[in-house]
Amino acid sequence: MRGKEKLFKHIKARYKIIISCVLIALIAVSGYLMMAGASASSNTSSAASSSSESSATSNNSSSKESKTVDWTKSSETKAYPDLDKYPKAWLDVNIEKQRVYIRDGADHNKILYTMYCSTGKNNSTPRGTYHIQAERGTHFYNASEKEGANYYVSWKNHGEYLFHTVPVDANGNYKKSVADNIGKKASSHGCVQLTIPDAKWVYENVPEGMKVVVH
């Protein structure tokens, strides 16, 4: 009997050890699976977030590139500067950015107003420092180029290089296909094209002799 009792106790002890080992193994496996699942979820979330950010960046970039300026409106919603208050104002034509900046020469060339523009194709807009000339008017048409514009102001060669609106055809209709390039790329024959209100303001307000820098 004693031998049987000892054997029974020995077997029972072995079973306890085996059961304990199995439980420990199950707990370890369960913990590993939980950690792996959390890591996978985190990676998926991170990838989705990264993809979303990349997509948003791409969309924003695409949106900026494809944005068409409304050339029937002024470039900014704020009022144009009162040039009587800025006697040293001058016009900064930036070909690379396709912008015309009205700057205050008396205040560290502070930008007073920014206008969208379109300069000459194939670098046909001459770079340098010039001054507004006497020639200006409400309309012109160049038959040889089959193109004209409204509200023009000369800044070089007395009528050859001008600030003016986006172009018009022989009937005085604005050429939308060209006008839609304003603020984005050069599309003129050398003049500086502006939105209609911007050109009208320049025609009515910019005085003869004002400095113009093209670069």
**Catalytic positions, please?**
164, 191
59 Cβ neighbours under 8 A, 6+ residues apart: none
Find out whether 83 and 205 touch, Cβ atoms under 8 Å.
yes
Phi, psi of 116 (to 5 degrees): -75, 150
- The whole-angstrom separation of Cα 76 and Cα 160 is 28
Find out whether 213 and 102 touch, Cβ atoms under 8 Å.
no
Residue whose structure tokens are 């949106």:
63
Find out whether 69 and 116 touch, Cβ atoms under 8 Å.
yes
**E strands, the chain, where?**
89-94, 99-104, 110-118, 128-131, 136-142, 147-156, 161-165, 192-194, 211-214
